[in-house]
Amino acid sequence: MKKITLIIGFVFTFIPSIYCQNTFFNQLADSAFVLTHQHVVYDPSYFSISYPGGDVPADKGVCTDVIIRAYRMFDIDLQKEVHEDMKAYFNLYPKNWGLTSTDKNIDHRRVPNLIKYFERHGTALSKSQNPEDYHPGDIVCWNLGGNVTHIGIVSNIKSTNQRRYQIIHNIGAGQVLEDCLFRYTIIGHYQFQK
């Protein structure tokens, strides 16, 4: 955690002050941006991880791991949060995987489960095609087609044409910053602060 704090401090020192606004969501966007400097290979494998505070190997991950790792920098453990909520309200969560009980190794790493958690405990926002509705630190979820879902965090960094904020996500090339907000069908838009 100390190393991550030092990296965040280093990034805050050298990026324009507009990116360092003093709100939780701007800080969340900055923390997600730090993740883009770590080498991560896209790996959707099932991992047995510790609980609470478990994580897959640092050099591996999927889109949900970007969200999990960004929030963990603020001592918000989505593994624990999702597990406890699913355990108490299992019937409200998707049954896409034929589960009959929770699995603290993987439940928080599934986009439909994060969508349900953010619907229940966050703030649901507009799913518009207006870039002005999307702000740094917002969580956006997409359907890539065929019920394949995806998730990312809105960054503090605008697109080249300055029309919208870019997204921090992992869709196969690691944890990256990309101008892809409207590339896929948006199925969820949230803010979450514990």
| The token pair that represents 26 in the structure block | 């701007």
Each residue of 71-104: pLDDT tens digit? 999 999 999 999 999 999 999 999 988 889 999 9
Contact of 91 with 160, CB cutoff 8 Å:
no
Each residue of 117-135: pLDDT tens digit? 999 999 999 999 999 999 9
Residue 158, classed as helix, strand or coil, is strand
| The token pair that represents 85 in the structure block | 């909520």
* pTM assigned to the model: 0.88
